[in-house]
Structure 1
Amino acid sequence: MIVLQADQILDSEAEVHYAYHRSLKTVTGLHAHDFFEIFLITKGSVYHLVNGKSIHLVEGSIVLIRPDDIHGYENDGTLECELLNLAFPKTTLAALFAYLGEGFDGERLLYCESPPCNIIKKHEIENVKARFQVLTTFPSYSKKVIRSEARALLADLFIRFFSGHAKEMEYTMPEWLKGVVREMKNKENFTVGLTRLYELSRKSPEHVTRMIRKHLGMTPTEWINELKLQYAANLLLHTDESILSICLEAGFENLSHFYHRFRKYFQLSPAKYRKLNRKIVIPQSH
């Protein structure tokens, strides 16, 4: 097995190695390394051989590989797979985690059994490819510029796709449930509630309930209420809408029920939460 070393692969000043592989023939076989890597399947699908498992990854799969993860790729017999990857040292990740602060659950990413993975949408793939393309436009001697741009890209990827709140990133979650979780985070779906959840899943309510309990650690109702409450909290902080309007906007039909749920979840009333946490950037005129 090949073991790749950071001092042989990564430029010490630029801090990053990036490549776009349009064929698996250009990708190293089963290997490990002492640095981090993020790769994104931009086209096709592939078997990801990692830590003794074989995981089928589809287009849009974005994966964080940690030092000492042993992994490689195997063709699944479909169209040629294309992927891009960014390799970076432990020091860069430490700097990113320090920047993101204690609210970002980096420990979970580092010590979970399987490499963290998520599925992103087509427009998100194109966005990442565009950001990746920017890196290729800098001359190789502009190492400090490359480092800054790479760090900005990595911070964006971690915030958007490897957030500590992204409970759906586990490999063990069925693909159909990953899709449902992703779709239910859209306002037009979570505000409808359970009926939309069952419509999207195309599974029996009993099966959906079992799977959500297993993978998200709560009932479907609790999970949907959490989505609604987090959305309502954001509206309280970032808009001047009335509490009644926010209640209805978040999908709660009853103001009393909204107050009860909000207080139970945040340990504060909506009005108190807004008063304590909202920051006014534009002063009000007197």
Structure 2
Amino acid sequence: MNIMTLSANDTFAAEEAFVLSRAELDTRRPPHLHTQDFHELVWVQNGTVRLHTDAGKRDLSEGDVLFISPDQRHGLQGRRPKGAQADGEASIVVSLAIRPGVIKAIGNRHEDLAGVAFWAATTEPTITHRDMRQLAALNQAALQLERSPRRKLYLEAFLLPFLVALDRTPEGMENGAPDWLIAACTKAHDPAVFRDGAAGFVAATGRAHPHVSRTMRRFMGLTPSDYINTLRMDHAARQLTGTSDPLPEIAADCGLPNLSHFHKLFLSHMGETPLRYRRARQANLIQPRL
């Protein structure tokens, strides 16, 4: 394929920080790969899309999200399932083009973004996935952004919550860990997952328990139970400090209805009993006078 380049000068009007658009993709193979001198966030809103890059082609489905950085050569093509009618389900993407300099400035202010999304050290667009609930929230936020002035403030109000919600490599995980493990570690912070213990974590991976255990030991030096119990105790610690909920209720909320077992795990992880931990930290809170 030949290469063409899109310019920010031709894309953004004066003072515009972003341009949000939706497009139905042509099902013909794009005649050119292209690059651009600005960042672009693209997600598949409907149907199937084929991404073309120098590395080859990859099919994307509804909910897949692309983070495209300057000079990353790419092209997008609409796809229809085999046997589908010519007027069948269209391939629709949403594109958020971002003025040069904005992404660099955000990264400079937030070091936690290093290695994530636009800040990943890759020569190809970074790809992540949003499930149906997350995609609905993303589309709703995009509608709000579409009605907003095209200034940096409103762009960042859209971007930052979205970036915070992305899967991140947990601390202590070695490089090269599979995406499914990173995604499962992110999901495991949800009480609905960690309440079910190691079984809930394994279910979130979609893999067999022995395979998950071997992979976790290799890249994290932990078992699924070790990881989940750490998340449970971190959650319990926040509840003990920030609420007046009774211990049995907090234990049950962690998925540990056996109070004796909860006490032992908390003491092992925090070095204090739950009651001592609560008293020490709540005593240090400054209570306003009424």
TM-score bin, normalised by smaller chain: 0.7 to 0.9
**Quick check: 2:47–2:80 contact (8 Å CA) kept in 1?**
no
Relative to 1, partners in 2 of residues 1:201 and 1:156: Cα closer, same or farther, differing over 3 Å?
closer
The one-character-per-residue Cα deviations of 1:152-186 (angstroms, maximum 9, x if unpaired) are 1112221223656599xx99535xx6886676444
Aligned sequence identity (%): 18
**Cα shift at 1:234:** 3.6
Match of 2:132 in 1: 122
Q: Which moved more, 1:270-279 or 1:22-31?
A: 270-279
* Distance across 1 between alignment mates of 2:281 and 2:108: 26
**Cα shift at 1:85:** 1.4
Match of 1:2 in 2: 4
Question: Which of 152, 165, 184 is matched with 2:157 structurally?
Answer: 152
Aligned residues: 271
* Higher Rg: 2
Question: Which of 29, 34, 45 is matched with 1:31 structurally?
Answer: 34
Q: TM-score, normalised by structure 1?
A: 0.73
**Aligned pairs for 1:112-191 within 5 A:** 112-113=121-122, 115-137=125-147, 143=150, 146-161=151-166, 173=179, 184-191=188-195
Q: CA RMSD for the aligned pairs?
A: 3.9
**Cα shift at 1:76:** 4.1
The one-character-per-residue Cα deviations of 1:18-47 (angstroms, maximum 9, x if unpaired) are 111133469895222222111111112223
**Quick check: 1:35–1:89 contact (8 Å CA) kept in 2?**
yes
The one-character-per-residue Cα deviations of 1:103-157 (angstroms, maximum 9, x if unpaired) are x23344423335443322323322222222234335xxx55xx443222111222
**Quick check: 1:116–1:162 contact (8 Å CA) kept in 2?**
no
* Distance across 2 between alignment mates of 1:54 and 1:277: 56
**Cα shift at 1:84:** 0.5
Q: Structure 2: 5+ residue runs without aligned partners?
A: 82-88
Question: Which of 68, 71, 90 is matched with 2:71 structurally?
Answer: 68
Kindly provide the amino acid, as one letter, of the partner of residue 255 in structure 1: F
The structure in which a higher percent of residues are helix is 1
Q: TM-score, normalised by structure 2?
A: 0.72
The one-character-per-residue Cα deviations of 1:166-219 (angstroms, maximum 9, x if unpaired) are 99xx99535xx6886676444233211123344565643222324445676743
* Distance across 1 between alignment mates of 2:165 and 2:131: 12
The alignment status of 1:207 with 2:211, answered yes or no, reads yes
